[in-house]
Structure 1
Amino acid sequence: MTLFFLNILLAVIWATLWNSFTLLTLAGGFALGFAALWLARGLLAPHYFRAVPAVLALAGFFIVELVKSCILVARDCIAPRPNIHPAIVRMPLDVRSDAEIFLLANLITLTPGTLTLDVAADRSFLLIHAIYATDEAALVAELKAGMEHRVRKVFGT
């Protein structure tokens, strides 16, 4: 995480040099700082250079899922006969650390139509309420292949 803060510091220094603290200048400074740190990667921790693209991929994936689920839920809110099949499903976890489980559970909860209800005491599964659970196995497979897979990439597991 210290490389991330160093990258942010480099972005702030870049914006200071240009005397412009716009989002574009800070983003450009962040990109240049990332490139500079990447060039010095032999001296630094290599996980950071895999984590930043993984975080961006997770954010992009989440935004797409968020938009899709918002449209589905909004459609069913105004439909005379909503096409919902609510169920509580048990999703086995491949992630193990508290941070990974926290991030995954919150991403699931933030997506309309799904809600994380509980984490098993032994961290082996999540209980999830979904309003579109016609096929529970397919829902679990979609969550594991989508969100959980990308969360694992972010943390390098």
Structure 2
Amino acid sequence: MIKYFLMNLLLSFIWVALTGSLSYSNFIFGLLLGFFVLWIMSRNEYDQRYFYRVPKIISFLLYFIWEMIKANLQVAYDVMTPKYFFRPGVVLFPLSAKTDLEINVLSTFISLTPGTLILDVSEDKKALYIHVMYLNDPETFVNSLKMGVERRLMEVLR
């Protein structure tokens, strides 16, 4: 997988050099073009993980950025208005993540979202304790995390 990523970067730099325009949009276009060329060239090879994982990584990052923007807007609205909408609470979040790396990355992404903070990991590493600033319904919050961040992150990491 690393081999394909490095070849994709090399093709992108070659594209930038050939066009003579060093800009973000040209580099991204070169990455997409390189990805397509590598995909066409390696359709008969056994190892296809790179071509399945890259779209999942991009999808996860876009989803996470969208969730972060929504949470930031919610916190900013609450700060700007005279009435507070805080409903703080602590939630026990059962984990599907098994390894320490998966648990660490998941807890980092959850903590990056405004309004949430990881308090602790259970002793058996099967649950997270999360402090939530806007907790209307604990079940809805747990389900949205399970179906959103955790599911997409496990698709990327496994």
TM-score with structure 2 length normalisation?
0.89
Partner AA of 1:22 in structure 2: S
Match of 1:11 in 2: 12
CA distance in 2, matches of 1:36, 1:97: 34
**1:81 equivalenced with 2:57 (yes/no):** no
Residue 36 of structure 1 and its aligned partner are, at CA, apart by 1.6
In the TM superposition, what is the alpha-carbon distance from 1:35 to its structure 2 partner?
A: 0.8
Greater relative contact order (Cα < 8 A, sep 6+):
1
Q: Partners of 1:17 and 1:58 in 2: how far apart?
A: 32
**Aligned to 1:147, which of 146, 149, 153?**
149
Written as runs of structure 1 = structure 2, the 5 A alignment for 1:3-152 is 3-39=4-40, 40-43=42-45, 45-152=47-154
Cα-to-partner distance string for 1:15-66 (whole Å, 9 max, x where unaligned): 1222222111211111111112211143252121111111111111112111
Task: Supply the RMSD in Å over aligned alpha carbons.
Answer: 1.7
Structure 2's unaligned 5+ residue stretches are: none
Q: How many residues align?
A: 156
Unaligned runs of 5+ in 1: none
By how many angstroms is 1:91 displaced? Answer: 0.8
Find the aligned partners of 1:98 and 1:109 in 2 and give their Cα distance: 16
Cα distance in structure 2, aligned partners of 1:47 and 1:152: 14
Cα distance in structure 2, aligned partners of 1:42 and 1:90: 46
